[in-house]
Chains A and B, each alone.
Chain A
Amino acid sequence: MQPVPETAIYEADKKAAKTNIQALDVIKRGYGKLGNLGSVLIATILLIIIFSILSPYFLTLNNFVNIFRQSAPLAMVAVGITIVIISGGIDLSIASSISLCSVILAMLIKNTDVPLFFSVILVFILGILLGLFNGFLITLLKIPPIIATLATAMTFSGIAFTITQGYSINLPADNAIRYLGSGKIWLIPVSIILVVIIYFVIQWILQNTGFGRLIYGLGGNVEAVYLSGISVRKYTLIIYMICGFFAAFASILLTARVANGHPNNGGGMEMDAIAATVLGGTSIYGGVGSVWGALFGVLTMTIIINGLNLLNINPYIQVIVKGLVLAAAVAVSSFRTVKR
């Protein structure tokens, strides 16, 4: 038997190793291109597969429209909070801003003759002012964002309870605002269309305007931005105002869907929104992230609740699952970052 020359074996080995490495590279590069979005996409897809197997009702058009519609208010909050977190800040007051805006909106509609359109505009202005107040505490009084917004969270919520005395302000069933909650253009709910438009616009702004890049810069290295001759204070103020604007937007969608203004509307949404943002690959330290990641984060959270509901699982257990999925997804993504 002719012995195979050693070099030939070696060459063959090398070739095999090379193709293996190439294949690995392709996978890695593909995964890398998704960036921090990777984990959340995988989480979303895994959840869809699991629930589709477990429940016959899950993978239906109707249910998916439902999931998106339920996601809309959280998706709006998540945009705002994502911008704040990318810039290196945090906003714990959004849930309270939502409650306050929701109560004011319901009062404007029910108790005054202000046309609906102007009521909505007024609520947007209110949201922006609430954000401005946060920004004021953070930039001028130099209170750390987490404390400043914790304080305003209490304050805003307290105001909402004071003016309503804790009662719900129910909206008439025929009010036009309900169109935002349940209206459809062809088959697509209006709220979904709004969310998609907003996400496209904001991601575009983040990528293509100087302001958008500065948001990343502030989160990446605020000292360097300051020493580049840029007014950090001005942009920080604007960023918190934007967050307030989206709190108002979420509040309008939420009020439209539940048809009332209650000081508990939006309760706990700040935690869900922060969770969704981080789930979507935005670094809690700032400087890195995208709003698309946040949108998938929101979808993941809503799918968990929706799927577990369809399986008739106790709502308290749903919260446990949500927490565990958050921990798992973020652990996977930090593991990847560390390895890199």
Chain B
Amino acid sequence: MDKTICEMQHIDKIFPGTQALNDVSLTIRTGEIQAVIGTNGSGKSTLANILAGTFPQTEGDIIFNGETVFFDHPSQAIKKGVVLIHQELKLMAEMTVAENIFFGRFSTYKNSPVINWKEVNRKAAEILQELGTNIDPTRKISKLSIAERQLVEIAKALSKEAAILVMDEPTASLTFDEVEMLFKVMRDLKKKGIAVIYISHRLEEILEISDCITVLEDSKLVTTIKNTPDLTKEDLVKLMIPKEKTRVTNNNRTREIDRPVVFSAHNICYSNKVKDFSFELRKGEVLGIAGLMGAGRTELLKCIFGALKIKSGEFYINGKPYKPNSPKTAFENRIALISEDRKAEGLILSMSIMDNMLIPNFAKYSRGPIIRKAKARAEVKEQAESLKLRYDKLTTNVSSLSGGNQQKVVIGKWLMANSDIILMDEPTRGIDVGSKAEIYELVDKLSREGKSIIFVSSELEEVQKVSDRIVVMYNGQNIHEFKQNATLEEMVQYATGSRNSNL
């Protein structure tokens, strides 16, 4: 019957500042689909990456067919038959399906380096047929749908004779029909004796497809259970959230419903990412928008900030229509965006703390075209101190600061611009625990000073901690607005789509 192919035993992974995995064990059997679930930051992806050799574990053993192995490069894992399919597919868009499947391993004419394209395409077609699709191997990847690309990735894995296929949220951007097609393929793989590790947030799908389910919570293994017909989504949610966290945490914030509405959004649509989204934001309020990755949160914020153009809908600031054409309009209306990816979008890493904080504010600190250095320096310094920024000199490059301090520089930049409405997109991503607490404190302090804040995060717990009011976003929609305090359990249910108040 089922045979154990690989065992991960007592795996620890420590990244600078955080422990991503703490004593996690996993047994992988041939012909079994094993789901790995857990809230964001629980360590699912880290586990997958260690198995696939992206980076090695800090402690613990991986045992393959009785032999202890150590991967510190993906190629070593591939040799053992472990193939990881990333959430963002890693295919070369301008090359053909067959080229992608066999890249670096092309069939050549005998004793020559010349590629035998006929043979390559034939072999690709063969594998694709095995998967039950008839994708033309000579088509370009860029012409394929996401689901078809997913299949190409699987075909590529099969061509490498994968024994263990690790899929990181493969269904995140698939339609219902495409998911069904993928599941059919997965069942076929299972029959062939391939082990599938399936990471997902979608509990419904997990119940449908998986044989057993491993639950991680806060970097630790909760349990691995068999998937039985009487297992429900609610059971899984309970496992994902430990008992002590299910109670409502009182964050000592008082709800100020009588304050004036400073910003409102009505029926905002953007592409297929944001659907008919409406909400209101009051002065001095922290509005939490909870939602998983890909729910459309970043797109919504970028629409408000003018970096993306909405298809339809209206925004109002203090009752007046607001039409953001570009971030410049947002800036002029005192709206700030603390972007999700601070290194790519928030900071200029080659420049100093002072330059970064001054970038949108040069006009304010200049006489004519000339910067009033003394004044600028004094105010940057004051801002840095009120943010509790830890720095050496103001002329230090931001690249040498820690994640938390970099985030403070981004926040400081907008505070110096006197922003009234601050949009925060995953402000604590990649930040150590201590700095996270400081960011929460800061959010609290700013709201008390009268700033209105939209706090977006996929760590539902922190949304619960900092917000006055919580809106849950799922699949581009405002799926639920909590009228009273939210429990983490309820939030997870709405965010994973297993409950819907608007239907």
User: Does B371 contact A221, Cβ atoms closer than 8 Å?
Assistant: no
- Interface check A208, CB cutoff 8 A: yes
Query: Do A288 and B350 form a contact, CB below 8 Å, given A217-B355, A217-B359, A224-B359?
Result: yes
- Which label, helix, strand, loop or mixed, suits the secondary structure of the B interface? mixed
Q: Which residues of A contact B370 (CB under 8 A)?
A: 208-209
User: Does A227 contact B346, Cβ atoms closer than 8 Å?
Assistant: yes
- Interface check A223, CB cutoff 8 A: yes
Q: Which of A5-13, A139-147, A228-236, A307-315 contacts the other chain?
A: A228-236
With beta carbons under 8 angstroms apart, the residue of B307, B362, B365 that contacts A227 is B307
The CA of A296 and the CA of B370, in the complex, are separated in Å by: 27
Q: List B318-350 residues whose CB lies under 8 Å from chain A.
A: 326-328, 330-332, 337, 339, 344-350
- Interface check A211, CB cutoff 8 A: yes
Closest to A221 in B: B348
The CA of A143 and the CA of B97, in the complex, are separated in Å by: 30
- Interface check B16, CB cutoff 8 A: no
Query: CB-CB contacts of B355-379 with A at 8 A, as 1s and 0s?
Result: 1001110110110011101000000
User: Does B360 contact A213, Cβ atoms closer than 8 Å?
Assistant: no
The CA of A223 and the CA of B363, in the complex, are separated in Å by: 20
Query: CB-CB contacts of A64-105 with B at 8 A, as 1s and 0s?
Result: 000000000000000000000000000000000000000000
Query: Do A210 and B327 form a contact, CB below 8 Å, given A220-B348, A288-B350?
Result: no
The CA of A288 and the CA of B351, in the complex, are separated in Å by: 8
User: Does B349 contact A220, Cβ atoms closer than 8 Å?
Assistant: yes
- Interface check A200, CB cutoff 8 A: no
Query: Do A217 and B348 form a contact, CB below 8 Å, given A209-B370, A224-B359?
Result: yes
Q: Which residues of B contact A124 (CB under 8 A)?
A: none
Closest to B335 in A: A229
The CA of A295 and the CA of B366, in the complex, are separated in Å by: 28
Query: CB-CB contacts of A186-222 with B at 8 A, as 1s and 0s?
Result: 0000000000000000000100111101101101110
Interface size on A, residues (CB 8 A): 23
CB distance from A3 to the nearest CB of B (A): 45
Query: Do A225 and B348 form a contact, CB below 8 Å, given A208-B371, A209-B370?
Result: yes
CB distance from B345 to the nearest CB of A (A): 5
The CA of A224 and the CA of B348, in the complex, are separated in Å by: 7
- Interface check A135, CB cutoff 8 A: no
Q: Which residues of B contact A227 (CB under 8 A)?
A: 305, 307, 327, 337, 339, 345-346
CB distance from B241 to the nearest CB of A (A): 35
CB distance from B311 to the nearest CB of A (A): 21
With beta carbons under 8 angstroms apart, the residue of A214, A216, A226 that contacts B350 is A216
Q: Which residues of B contact A224 (CB under 8 A)?
A: 344-348, 359
User: Does B371 contact A213, Cβ atoms closer than 8 Å?
Assistant: yes
11 A-B pairs with C-beta separation under 8 A: A210-B365, A213-B362, A217-B351, A220-B349, A225-B348, A227-B307, A227-B337, A228-B359, A229-B327, A229-B330, A229-B331
B→A interface (CB under 8 Å): 305, 307, 326-328, 330-332, 337, 339, 344-351, 355, 358-360, 362-363, 365-366, 369-371, 373, 413, 417
